[in-house]
């Protein structure tokens, strides 16, 4: 069968068997295999990857059931410049996205995918984002010619034989098509040998939101290839949520239990490599506090019948950044990856274990680096790639919350935004109201990290930590947040905060110790949440904020704690002084910051919701 643009053009068939057959005819693989999460299937995929040299078995005595993969040098991170939102109009994609006309893009992709799987196995993975029977759940089918991707998808999503039956019986699904773009035969009959990490210099990650489709070509790495993650769970799901009245956000989700035994649920949006996983797996330094993990990267939120905002992590695994993770920074993550984990682009020790920068205080004297070369501390290059990763099941996490798969999700008590900034942004600030909170999210600025293309350390706007992951216009996203806020019951509306764990002291060191000490900031947040709930009526009648006689300051950054408001028991005098510097709001810095925010909003013209301009004007009114 010849597959034309018209054959796969809208409306796409919702019959799973027909769609799989269409893709098979287009890509022309040697064989087709349906893959679900069963032990014999995992073993088969693993054996193939070891034989191909794509993965290496680690020392089972040190790292049971774990493997190391090495990519090529040109396939190590998201390719934002080659990521497209294909909507009928450019305005629908928004200025935040790379846009392509869907008909033109599909025509180009059809040429690329034609015969792209010759000589290969075409794997078909039915999967669910969220527990299969949850009202949050959305189904997908990923087709790929990469056994590495197929095996990773079995960790990152839920894939069962029962779900396959549902999908082939007609359940709706997001269609996710992926090829590494390295066919082993061509139409002339010429052949070539396979390589350990096949990829293509031409790369496309394309989303068709109106069709619930994803087409990814040329990359076998991370979010470019594991299409249930950023592509589905954020770009396509955010578009779904906008239409259907829910939200898909780049957030962690935790349960915090106070010493009195009361439970709170917090979501937090940070740009990649800015501490999401560390906070998601926080081990509190303060006695009596407990933090449990529900998710480390993606959260779906929807309103229940009582007007409460409920949240769920739709993923089944962690895809975390390895460098900087250690028993000091994140002992929970280290225990999580102690077994059943695929590591990608980290270094290998002579004993058959893994290593990366920041894992230990000193580097081993000899390693094999992420490119497979001999390495010593004198080599002058990183042993592990800065964006090296681990893929591990959520069930491995020792702090996983018993309700992490509760089908109804959990009620959200607080929302946290944050970024990586050396100055200006205080350690913590509370929003004056929901509109100010949305402004906080919309104006996040963070230092660029190795997880994305560009110069590391450069400041870039990353509203809601969603710039690379939103499937429609940013300003429509801000409006969606405002609309959701109006629907939340007044006595259940989450408080919104902004944090900056990375504020620098004058000597260039971090002003805040972070890690387990972050519970002190969360303790302050929870006291603020309880206080505001007590004064719901007062707040409703207030134009801006209510003075509750607490030790707080009302600043252009938001409500910040006064000296002594954050628990510093056990701190040295030097640490207390450092905390005071970390929460300080400098008038001149914030005059410039609000000017930056004003210019940033004006850059989006008349599409910015009026409520954000109003919130900004109120903050400017607090300047002396």
- Domains of the chain, earliest start first: 16-34+78-244 (3.40.449.10), 248-313+404-620 (3.90.228.20), 318-396 (2.170.8.10)
Beta bridge partners of 368: 348, 374
* Top-confidence residue, 539 or 247: 247
For range 128-135, the mean pLDDT? 96
Give the model's pLDDT for residue 447: 80
pLDDT in tens, 547-561: 455 789 999 999 999
For range 356-360, the mean pLDDT? 97
pLDDT in tens, 568-611: 999 999 999 999 999 999 999 999 999 999 999 999 999 999 99
pLDDT in tens, 415-426: 999 999 999 999
Give the model's pLDDT for residue 5: 46
**Do residues 281 and 336 touch, judged by C-beta distance below 8 A?**
yes
Q: For residue 567, is pLDDT > 90?
A: yes
pLDDT band at 2; cut points 50, 70, 90: very low
Sequence-distant (6+) residues with CB within 8 A of 128 are: 137, 138, 139, 140, 157, 158, 159, 160, 163
pLDDT in tens, 257-297: 999 999 999 999 998 767 888 899 999 999 999 999 999 99
DSSP-derived 3-state class of residue 36: coil
Give which of 172, 175, 174, 115 is closest to 145, Cα–Cα. Answer: 115
Q: For residue 455, is pLDDT > 80?
A: no
* Top-confidence residue, 237 or 3: 237
pTM of the model: 0.93
* Top-confidence residue, 6 or 307: 307
The rounded percent of the chain whose pLDDT value lies above 70 is 94
pLDDT band at 391; cut points 50, 70, 90: very high
Q: For residue 545, is pLDDT > 80?
A: no
Q: Please give the positions annotated as active site.
A: 274
pLDDT band at 1; cut points 50, 70, 90: very low
pLDDT band at 533; cut points 50, 70, 90: confident
**Do residues 172 and 140 touch, judged by C-beta distance below 8 A?**
no
pLDDT band at 48; cut points 50, 70, 90: very high
Q: For residue 13, is pLDDT > 70?
A: no
Give the model's pLDDT for residue 451: 53
pLDDT in tens, 211-234: 999 999 999 999 999 999 999 999
Q: For residue 429, is pLDDT > 90?
A: yes
DSSP-derived 3-state class of residue 352: coil
Give the model's pLDDT for residue 50: 98
Sequence-distant (6+) residues with CB within 8 A of 108 are: 204
pLDDT band at 457; cut points 50, 70, 90: low
Q: For residue 544, is pLDDT > 50?
A: no
Tokens, residue 586: 């400098």
Give which of 290, 298, 304 is closest to 262, Cα–Cα. Answer: 290
For range 403-407, the mean pLDDT? 97
CA distance 394 to 226: 16
- With b for 16 or more beta-carbon neighbours within 10 A and e for fewer, the 100-110 pattern comes to bebeebbebbb
pLDDT in tens, 68-105: 999 999 999 989 999 999 999 999 999 999 999 999 99
């Amino acid at each position: 069968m010849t597959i034309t643009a018209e054959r796969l053009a809208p409306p796409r068939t919702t019959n799973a068997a027909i769609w799989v057959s269409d893709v098979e005819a287009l890509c022309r693989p040697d064989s087709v295999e349906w893959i679900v999460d069963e032990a014999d299937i995992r073993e088969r995929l693993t054996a193939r990857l070891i034989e191909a040299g794509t993965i290496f078995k680690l020392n089972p005595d040190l790292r049971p059931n774990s493997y190391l993969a090495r990519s090529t040098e040109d396939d190590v991170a998201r390719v934002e410049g080659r990521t497209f939102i294909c909507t009928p109009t450019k305005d629908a994609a928004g200025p935040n996205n790379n846009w392509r006309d869907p008909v033109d893009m599909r025509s180009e992709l059809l040429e690329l995918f034609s015969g792209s799987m010759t000589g290969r196995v075409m794997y078909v993975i039915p999967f669910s984002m969220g527990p299969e029977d949850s009202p949050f759940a959305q189904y997908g089918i990923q087709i790929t010619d990469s056994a590495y991707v197929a095996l990773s998808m079995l960790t990152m999503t839920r894939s069962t034989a029962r779900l396959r039956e549902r999908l082939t019986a007609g359940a709706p699904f997001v269609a996710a098509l992926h090829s590494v773009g390295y066919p082993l035969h061509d139409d002339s009959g010429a052949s070539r040998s396979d390589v350990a990490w096949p990829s293509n210099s031409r790369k496309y990650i394309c989303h068709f939101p109106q069709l619930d489709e994803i087409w990814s070509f040329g990359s076998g790495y991370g979010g470019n290839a594991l299409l249930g993650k950023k592509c589905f769970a954020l770009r396509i799901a955010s578009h779904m949520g906008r239409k259907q009245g829910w939200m898909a956000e780049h957030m962690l989700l935790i349960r915090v239990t106070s010493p009195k035994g009361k439970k709170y649920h917090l979501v937090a949006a940070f740009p990649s490599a800015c501490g999401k996983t560390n906070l998601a797996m926080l081990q509190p330094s303060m006695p009596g506090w407990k933090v449990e993990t529900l998710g480390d990267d993606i959260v779906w939120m929807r309103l229940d019948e009582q007007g409460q905002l409920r949240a769920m992590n739709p993923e089944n695994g962690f895809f975390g950044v390895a460098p900087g993770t250690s028993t000091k920074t994140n002992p929970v993550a280290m225990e999580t990856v102690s077994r059943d984990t695929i590591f990608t682009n980290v270094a290998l020790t002579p004993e058959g274990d893994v290593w990366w920068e920041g894992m230990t205080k000193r580097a081993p004297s000899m390693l094999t680096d992420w490119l497979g070369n001999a390495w010593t501390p004198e080599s002058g290059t990183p042993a592990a790639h800065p964006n090296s990763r681990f893929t591990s099941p959520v069930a491995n996490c020792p702090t996983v919350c018993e309700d992490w798969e509760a089908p109804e999700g959990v009620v959200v008590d607080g929302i946290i935004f944050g970024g990586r900034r050396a100055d200006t942004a205080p350690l913590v600030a509370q929003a004056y109201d929901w509109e100010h909170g949305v402004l906080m999210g919309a104006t996040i600025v963070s230092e660029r990290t190795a997880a994305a293309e560009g110069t590391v350390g450069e400041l870039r706007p990353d509203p809601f930590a969603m710039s690379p992951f939103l499937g429609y216009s940013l300003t429509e996203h801000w409006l969606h947040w405002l609309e959701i806020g109006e629907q939340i019951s007044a006595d259940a509306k989450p408080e919104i905060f902004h944090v900056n764990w990375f504020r620098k002291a004058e000597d260039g060191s971090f002003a805040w110790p972070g890690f387990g000490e972050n519970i002190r900031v969360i303790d302050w947040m929870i006291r603020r949440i309880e206080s505001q709930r007590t004064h719901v009526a007062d707040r409703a009648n207030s134009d801006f904020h209510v003075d509750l006689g607490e030790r707080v300051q009302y600043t252009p950054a938001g409500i910040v704690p006064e000296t002594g408001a954050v628990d510093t028991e056990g701190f040295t005098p030097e640490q207390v002084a450092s905390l005071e510097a970390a929460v300080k709001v400098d008038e001149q810095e914030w005059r410039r910051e609000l000017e930056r925010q004003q210019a940033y909003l004006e850059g989006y013209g008349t599409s910015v919701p009026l409520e954000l301009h109003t919130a900004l004007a109120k903050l400017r009114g607090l300047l002396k």
